[in-house]
Amino acid sequence: RRPLIALGIETSCDDTCAAIVTSDRQILSEVLRTQHHLHEPMGGIVPKLAHHAHMRNLPSVVQEAIQSAGLGEQGIQAVDIIAVTRGPGLAHSLGVGLNAAKTLAAALNKPLVGVHHMEAHALTARLTTRDPDYQPVGQDVSTLESGVPIGSDPYPSFPFLTLLVSGGHTLLLVAHSVDRYTTLATTVDDSIGEAFDKTARELDIPWLPGRAGGPGASLEEFAKSSCNPGRYLDRLPIPLSLRSSKSEMKFSFAGLKSAVTRIVNQEKAASSSGEMDESKRQDLAAGFQHCAVTHLCQKVEQALVDCHEQGLDISSLVISGGVGRNATLRSRMDEICCQFKYGGAIATDKMSSKEKKRLKRTSLNAATQKESGKAVRSVRVICPPPKLCTDNAVMIAWTGLERYQQGLVDPYDIDIVPKWPL
Ligand code: KG4
Ligand code: ZN
């Protein structure tokens, strides 16, 4: 049997996207038309402009995705399912994509799959990641651009943790299976991307031309030149730090951002020029980044402990979203997850009580795992390629395929769900 083919459509925010993806994990085509040039001069996304731009752009975006997919004579008829974002997102923008998808599916008599945008972000890693333990059998050596050999099962396996960090999302969740998620933490104020962007502006960090990633990436680059990254650490809070609020599974960045503003004002007032010199701004950028990343790390670490205690055998941590490009964030998460051995080490008398305590937390069920003969492994950190970490239709098509294969299909009269908890 040939692999299934899905057309995915995504119009939840300010990018008009369509893509064609197969169930053996090939991306046949991918088209994204951005609206940044329309919204940037307005200082933010204007829903009405987004709505009209989606209406203008979607037909040609879908046409291009179909034409460039190499579907042969059959064209759109070769597509087995139509997948589309139902929510969450901007109501009118969602409506453009959903209506197009419903009409296409009904006219072609194809199954329709409505997709939750955040579920799609979480499942993207299963399209792009190769199972590190996968052993190709016999002739199975064909590889895709992403390095995924055909035949390996989608990876990471369930359950896994997902950290979505971007301008729009700051979310930590457990993916138990296709269609079943638990939200562990979300932000009570700004998203982490907003915090990076506002801080970059506060510190007058020069925009690096031609660099992907926007102000957050410029801040990361700027902070690398810091000679004294610890200079302001005693004046910057680590939000909702475990020490002060152990059970608070929330993110918050407003307090950290205000602390940065306070320090900038104090430094300017104390300086004869009325400006904060560059080396101090670099130190403050590094301090901010350290605190923001530490905040995320503390919550992820607590989530790993909590999951163990609930008997959830977490295989991986998937990091997605624009802020996921941050190298400090990635390496700190790697450190945490590497220490998190399942059945790895056993406490010895030579260890200090602190070490034993830590080991107990991080290698729960050592005995059980040994008995069951399971391999010793750490929690793996997975970051899908940056292009697929941000909004795109590939993730919608892939999620459509995962849902369809679980028998999850929707009727042609489904509606948008602009506010949709996962
Ligand atoms: O996912 P994304 O590209 O778009 C939306 O949020 O829709 O995320 C953009 C956010 C921006 O706030 C940007 O400043 C931030 O991700 N960002 C970074 C880095 N690259 C992008 N933040 C910190 N470090 C980076 N290297
Ligand atoms: Zn998104």
Highest mean pLDDT among 17-26, 299-308, 350-359: 17-26
How far apart are the C-alpha atoms of 349 and 359, rounded to whole Å? 13
How high is the pLDDT of residue 269? 96
**Both structure tokens of 391:** 């909004």
Lowest mean pLDDT across 27-41, 75-89, 301-315, 402-416: 301-315
384 lines ligand 1 (CB under 6 A): no
Q: How confident is the model at residue 343 (pLDDT cuts 50, 70, 90)?
A: very low
Handedness of CA 36, 114, 388, 219 (dihedral sign): positive
Residue in this structure with the two tokens 């119009």, named with its chain if needed: 11
168 lines ligand 1 (CB under 6 A): yes
Ligand 1, atom nearest to 329 Cα: 24
Distance 346 CA to ligand 1 centre (A): 40
Let me know the angle formed at the C-alpha of 124 by 11 and 118, rounded to the nearest 5 degrees: 50
How high is the pLDDT of residue 305? 84
166 lines ligand 1 (CB under 6 A): yes
The model's pTM is 0.86
Of 172, 126, 105, 131, the closest CA to residue 394 belongs to: 126
Distance 329 CA to ligand 2 centre (A): 19
How high is the pLDDT of residue 151? 65
Residues 110-139, mean pLDDT to the nearest whole number: 86
Spatial neighbors of 70 by CB under 8 A, at least 6 apart, are: 28, 29
How high is the pLDDT of residue 350? 55
323 lines ligand 1 (CB under 6 A): yes
pLDDT of 44 > 80? The answer is: no
Of 324, 325, 253, 265, the closest CA to residue 291 belongs to: 253
Q: What is the pLDDT of residues 192-246, one digit of tens each?
A: 999 999 999 999 997 766 556 788 999 999 999 999 999 999 999 999 886 555 5
How high is the pLDDT of residue 203? 96
Spatial neighbors of 363 by CB under 8 A, at least 6 apart, are: 341, 342, 343, 344, 345, 346
More confident residue, 248 or 334: 334
Q: How confident is the model at residue 386 (pLDDT cuts 50, 70, 90)?
A: confident
How high is the pLDDT of residue 164? 95
Ligand 1, atom nearest to 169 Cα: 6
Distance 389 CA to ligand 1 centre (A): 10
Q: What is the DSSP letter of 129?
A: B
pLDDT of 348 > 80? The answer is: no
Distance 299 CA to ligand 1 centre (A): 20
Task: Supply the angle between the helices 394-405 and 117-128 in degrees, to the nearest 10.
Answer: 90
Q: Which of 196, 257, 329 to mutate to test the pocket of ligand 1 (most atoms within 8 A of CB)?
A: 196
Of 60, 64, 59, 100, the closest CA to residue 83 belongs to: 100
State percent of the chain over pLDDT 90: 68
Which ligand is nearest to the Cα of residue 119, counting in written order? 2
How high is the pLDDT of residue 377? 60
pLDDT of 346 > 70? The answer is: no
Interface confidence, given as ipTM, is 0.98
- Nearest residue (CA) to ligand 1, atom 16: 322
88 lines ligand 1 (CB under 6 A): no
pLDDT of 136 > 90? The answer is: no
Distance 417 CA to ligand 2 centre (A): 15
Distance 390 CA to ligand 2 centre (A): 6
95 lines ligand 1 (CB under 6 A): no
25 lines ligand 1 (CB under 6 A): no
Q: What is the pLDDT of residues 238-294, one digit of tens each?
A: 998 865 555 589 999 999 999 999 999 999 999 999 999 999 999 999 999 999 999
Q: How confident is the model at residue 141 (pLDDT cuts 50, 70, 90)?
A: very low
Neighbours of 315 (CB within 10 A): 19
